[in-house]
A and B are shown apart, each in its own frame.
Chain A
Amino acid sequence: MITNWLPEPSLSAAILATFLPFVAFLLIMVFTRRYPRLSAGLSIGAVSISLISAIFLLARHWHPQTPLEYTGQWLISGDINIPYGYLLDQVSLLMLTVVAGISFLVQVYSLGYMSGDTGFSRYYAFMSLFAWAMMNLTLSPTMLQLYVFWELVGLSSYLLIGFWYEKFSASEAGKKAFVMTRFGDIALFLGILLVLVHLGNLNILELNSPRVSSQMSAARITAAALLIFGGIIGKSAQFPLLTWLPDAMEGPTPVSALLHSATMVAAGVFLFARLFPFFSLSATAMTIFLAIGTISMLLASTMAMVSRDIKQVWAYSTISQLGFMIMGLAAGSYFAGVFHLTTHAGFKALLFLCSGVFIHAYESNDVFEISRQGGRRLKIPTVCVVIAAAALAGLPPLSGFFSKELILGALAELKNPVWLAAGLLGAFLTAYYAFRLIFIILFPRESSSEPDANHAQDHVHGGYWQMAWPLMVLATVTVLLGFFQGALEDFFKESLSAQAAHGGHPAWLPFVAFSCAACGVLLAWVEFGRRSADRVGFVEKIAPLNNLFAERWYIDHFYRRFLDIFIYGMVSNMLTQNDKKIIDGGIDGLSKATVETGRFVSFLNNGMVQYRLLTIFVVMVLLGIYFFF
């Protein structure tokens, strides 16, 4: 039981890891809001202890064994028993380490990035809140606890996106993110309810066991899987709920790095991996997931090709890569999806953090602006961004290459070759848009004037090293992580026993993948990097395509029209009319009736004798009624 946690080092480590950030959040919000450096210190301290605990747990449970579960009594109602606690198995420990590590690095980075901001303490409080919620989410043993922390993660995302709430667009973006993910969460909750009703409990280990297929019919399993995937669509910004993520870039760049690239949006993929055996029971659901992942991946890649805002490009890229991960998982390869999740967390966070340095220095999100002002003079961010983009594009020997190749291998094993073709096309497009950005920054067109450069260097110096060394750490991880693939595979071997081993993908695959990526890089070089290039992409030359991609395939427009017509036009209108006419009208009518009655009765006091006589007779009649009936 959870009460005797002291003698169990794993449990105490888990509790420390997950609970301390919450303590930090409370302390900051209540006591230390006026002391920014103290708040930052509290938050970073808490998350560093979490990181140490996570590494400790990972090391302790490195050799595969059965999942470890610690639970205490929480909800008991009749037959339903939903405990709370911690579930320590391979994917949760790996995810915990990833989350703790990137949180720690981002919080250190924020010391430099957010210094001088008036909401500094509030920022660190929300960061701690997010860390608490995300870590508990990864360690949840039941779907209900996971849902609670899922919502909390959404809440902290809303708070952090709308951090600069004085800016209207930021608060709008926060609202949009929250409402859109809410739609997904409705589906998720319905799926949870469906599972609860038919299975009797929400324990994740129970859900993943083979007993489920005997207790729930295939149709119900498919329905529950689809509904739960609805939540994943919302949280991981897949088609059709993908437009909130580019708008979420209104938040500070470290927030984008932490939440909207590496951890929160990856929670959806994490859930997929968590319930992978459950989802595998339904082949139709897996095919649908594959389709949705493919569509999202291709759609977002096209949108990234025409964007000028540096953060938006990486946002679209996140959507695309999440789709890619979902493709890998839905194709049947558990390890491929999880490995890509891990490597993506590393290089995407690195990309955002480097962009953050540029934005902080040049106060502009626009790529052309940054390059014109001499972006490439900042040495460390430039080197790191090139490394990260190469990893994104899948160039060897970086980590991205290994994880992408695994996913393409899983796609190749499917019977239908269209998925593999889509994956290769996605790889090509990814390389193209990533390096388009890199070449724009690396090779500025107009010569920058000297005062700009000096100004930039002065501006950066203050927090430069606080922002720089997390970049270097992440870059190192990106370079090296690929070589740990074997070790991680062994780590996951226990949970792979039910799945077919991934070996046996065709030998030509790595070469084809590499050539696709190289073609993308080459095209980008031709268009952007060469000295005589005109720096306009091939897509941008085709105006209708350009508009289509730039307007996010008109999905936002569709949502806006839908909202305006149905929700605001009909539902809000109906409710407003109801409020004004019926409720207000009723109460106004009541008061009016009272006034009129008073006016009517007041004639009795007119002083006129005959009215009083009439009153006498009326009362006599009434008395007659009373006495005789």
Chain B
Amino acid sequence: MIVPFYHVLILAGLLFLMGISCMVVRRSLIMILLGVEIMLNAASIILVGASLLWQNLDGQAIVMFIFAIAATEVSVGLALIVWAYRRTGSVDPGDFNILK
């Protein structure tokens, strides 16, 4: 007996919210990526908890793939950030406003 499932849901929800806030509020491209990572982590927690609830290994399989994809995405994202930094000299998303 661990906890009722909705506790896990609340935990993951709060974590997801923090990820969103990090992504939207912080004025730095790197923090945006960090926020993405936090959100993915929250999703993983939920999936693992759900697989424990339903005693089904599919949830954990999904989490595995999430790890792989997160790694991919972070590397590509960081490469893009480096490239953008080289072009404009700043990592403030407010400076990337040519699309205004």
A interface residues, Cβ below 8 angstroms from B: 605-611, 613-614, 617
| In contact, B24 and A614 (Cβ under 8 angstroms) | yes
Point out the residues of chain B lying under 8 angstroms from A613, CB to CB. 23-24, 32
| In contact, B100 and A609 (Cβ under 8 angstroms) | no
CB distance from A124 to the nearest CB of B (A): 75
| In contact, B93 and A608 (Cβ under 8 angstroms) | yes
Q: Which residue of B lies closest to A614 (CB)?
A: B24
| In contact, A605 and B100 (Cβ under 8 angstroms) | yes
CB distance from B79 to the nearest CB of A (A): 17
Give CA–CA (A607, B94) in the complex, Å: 8
Point out the residues of chain A lying under 8 angstroms from B98, CB to CB. 607
Q: Indicate which residue in A608, A614, A617 contacts B97 across the interface (CB closer than 8 Å).
A: A608
**What are 11 A-B residue pairs whose CB atoms fall within 8 Å in the complex?**
A606-B100, A607-B99, A607-B100, A608-B94, A608-B97, A609-B96, A610-B23, A610-B32, A611-B24, A613-B32, A614-B24
| In contact, A609 and B20 (Cβ under 8 angstroms) | no
How many pairs of A and B residues are in contact by the CB < 8 Å rule?
Answer: 27
Q: Which of B12-49 contact A (CB under 8 A)?
A: 20, 23-25, 27, 32
Point out the residues of chain A lying under 8 angstroms from B20, CB to CB. 617
Q: Which residue of B lies closest to A617 (CB)?
A: B20
Give CA–CA (A153, B93) in the complex, Å: 81
A-B pairs with lowest CB-CB distance, top 6: A607-B97, A607-B100, A609-B93, A614-B24, A610-B24, A607-B99
Point out the residues of chain A lying under 8 angstroms from B94, CB to CB. 608
Point out the residues of chain B lying under 8 angstroms from A606, CB to CB. 97, 100
Point out the residues of chain B lying under 8 angstroms from A607, CB to CB. 96-100
Q: Which residue of B lies closest to A605 (CB)?
A: B100
| In contact, B100 and A610 (Cβ under 8 angstroms) | no
CB distance from B96 to the nearest CB of A (A): 7
CB distance from B90 to the nearest CB of A (A): 13
Point out the residues of chain B lying under 8 angstroms from A609, CB to CB. 32, 93, 96
Q: Indicate which residue in A605, A610, A617 contacts B93 across the interface (CB closer than 8 Å).
A: A610
CB distance from B14 to the nearest CB of A (A): 15
Per-residue interface assignment for chain B, residues 79 to 100, with 1 indicating a CB less than 8 Å from any chain A CB and 0 otherwise: 0000000000000011011111
Give CA–CA (A611, B96) in the complex, Å: 12
Give CA–CA (A613, B96) in the complex, Å: 14
Q: Which residue of A lies closest to B35 (CB)?
A: A613
Give CA–CA (A606, B93) in the complex, Å: 11
CB distance from A624 to the nearest CB of B (A): 12
On whether A617 and B99 interact (CB within 8 A), knowing A609-B93, A610-B32, A610-B93, the answer reads no
Point out the residues of chain B lying under 8 angstroms from A617, CB to CB. 20, 24
Point out the residues of chain A lying under 8 angstroms from B96, CB to CB. 607, 609
Point out the residues of chain A lying under 8 angstroms from B93, CB to CB. 608-610
Query: Which of B23, B24, B93, B94 has most A Cβ within 10 Å?
Result: B24
Give CA–CA (A605, B99) in the complex, Å: 9
Point out the residues of chain B lying under 8 angstroms from A608, CB to CB. 93-94, 97
CB distance from A457 to the nearest CB of B (A): 92
Q: Which residue of B lies closest to A620 (CB)?
A: B20
Give CA–CA (A617, B35) in the complex, Å: 13
CB distance from A99 to the nearest CB of B (A): 83
Point out the residues of chain B lying under 8 angstroms from A614, CB to CB. 24
Q: Which residue of A lies closest to B31 (CB)?
A: A610
Give CA–CA (A611, B98) in the complex, Å: 15
8 extra interface residue pairs, beta carbon distance < 8 Å, beyond A607-B97, A610-B24, A610-B27: A606-B100, A607-B99, A608-B97, A610-B23, A610-B93, A613-B23, A613-B24, A613-B32
Q: Which residue of B lies closest to A615 (CB)?
A: B24
Q: Which residue of A lies closest to B27 (CB)?
A: A610
CB distance from B2 to the nearest CB of A (A): 26
CB distance from A628 to the nearest CB of B (A): 14
Give CA–CA (A617, B24) in the complex, Å: 10
CB distance from B53 to the nearest CB of A (A): 19
Q: Which residue of A lies closest to B92 (CB)?
A: A608
CB distance from A610 to the nearest CB of B (A): 5
Point out the residues of chain A lying under 8 angstroms from B99, CB to CB. 607
Give CA–CA (A393, B24) in the complex, Å: 101
Q: Which residue of A lies closest to B97 (CB)?
A: A607
| In contact, A610 and B25 (Cβ under 8 angstroms) | yes
CB distance from B27 to the nearest CB of A (A): 8
Point out the residues of chain B lying under 8 angstroms from A610, CB to CB. 23-25, 27, 32, 93
Point out the residues of chain A lying under 8 angstroms from B32, CB to CB. 609-610, 613
Point out the residues of chain A lying under 8 angstroms from B100, CB to CB. 605-607
Point out the residues of chain B lying under 8 angstroms from A611, CB to CB. 24
Q: Which residue of A lies closest to B100 (CB)?
A: A607
Q: Which residue of A lies closest to B25 (CB)?
A: A610
CB distance from B77 to the nearest CB of A (A): 13
Give CA–CA (A98, B35) in the complex, Å: 102
CB distance from A292 to the nearest CB of B (A): 82
CB distance from A474 to the nearest CB of B (A): 91
Give CA–CA (A484, B35) in the complex, Å: 115
Give CA–CA (A610, B97) in the complex, Å: 11
CB distance from B38 to the nearest CB of A (A): 13
Give CA–CA (A614, B32) in the complex, Å: 12
Give CA–CA (A138, B44) in the complex, Å: 100
Give CA–CA (A605, B98) in the complex, Å: 11
Point out the residues of chain A lying under 8 angstroms from B27, CB to CB. 610
Q: Which residue of B lies closest to A621 (CB)?
A: B20
CB distance from B98 to the nearest CB of A (A): 7
CB distance from A609 to the nearest CB of B (A): 5
Give CA–CA (A611, B32) in the complex, Å: 12
Point out the residues of chain A lying under 8 angstroms from B24, CB to CB. 610-611, 613-614, 617
CB distance from B28 to the nearest CB of A (A): 10
Q: Which residue of B lies closest to A608 (CB)?
A: B94
Give CA–CA (A154, B23) in the complex, Å: 79
Query: Which of B20, B25, B32, B100 has most A Cβ within 10 Å?
Result: B20
Q: Which residue of B lies closest to A609 (CB)?
A: B93
CB distance from A302 to the nearest CB of B (A): 86
CB distance from A623 to the nearest CB of B (A): 15
Point out the residues of chain A lying under 8 angstroms from B25, CB to CB. 610
CB distance from A616 to the nearest CB of B (A): 9
Give CA–CA (A610, B28) in the complex, Å: 10
Give CA–CA (A614, B23) in the complex, Å: 9
CB distance from B70 to the nearest CB of A (A): 18
Give CA–CA (A614, B94) in the complex, Å: 14
CB distance from A617 to the nearest CB of B (A): 5
CB distance from A215 to the nearest CB of B (A): 81
